[in-house]
Amino acid sequence: MKYLCTNCNYIYDSAFWDIEENISIWEELNICPVCEEYDSFHWIEEEINYIDDKVLDSMEIDHFPEVNIKDNKLIVTVWNEIHPMWENHRIASISLYDEYWDLIEEKYLEMDIEPVVEFDFDNLDEFEIRVKCSLHGSWGKKISNFS
């Protein structure tokens, strides 16, 4: 999730390291590392690029989540594990949203780890998978009547 400091306009993305400000991944911030203002962060809604199963260009294919169920687990693979997982270009997180598009769970990925995650699956009729790429933003795939 992205947050904006309303005092100095610093943007913090919890899915990425901020080496310059020495902030580790998943760290909760109450004080801005730039202006040191307390409690000035506000959530920023990110634009989601939705993927159409019928028409995929080369960039969409790289961010295409393959979804399978095995032993009550929802297994999400980002395009057959081919997406780069380097420091400057990687999948940072994969998220599961329910039929109301509320976040159920977000899994953060480290560098050099295959972009594959498992979620406990509660037989949702409709859900959404979102993939966050460090270079190409957030990509979503809405799924209904999944079996």
25: containing domain = 1-45
- In which order are the strands placed within the sheet that holds 41-44? 11-13, 2-5, 41-44
Burial class of residue 60, CB neighbours in 10 A (0-12, 13-18, 19+): middle
Q: Are residues 123 and 57 in the same domain?
A: yes
Gap between the Cα atoms of 110 and 72, Å rounded = 25
**The CATH number of the domain where 94 resides is what?**
2.60.40.730
**The CATH number of the domain where 19 resides is what?**
2.20.28.10
Q: What is the pLDDT of residues 126-140, one digit of tens each?
A: 899 999 888 788 888
Q: Are residues 110 and 56 in the same domain?
A: yes
Residue 18's pLDDT is 63
Q: Are residues 36 and 52 in the same domain?
A: no
Q: Are residues 41 and 52 in the same domain?
A: no
Q: Are residues 94 and 61 in the same domain?
A: yes
pLDDT in tens, the chain (147 residues): 678 888 888 888 776 666 566 666 556 677 888 888 887 877 777 788 887 655 555 555 677 788 888 888 889 988 765 676 777 788 888 999 988 888 899 898 877 778 889 998 877 788 999 998 887 888 888 888 665
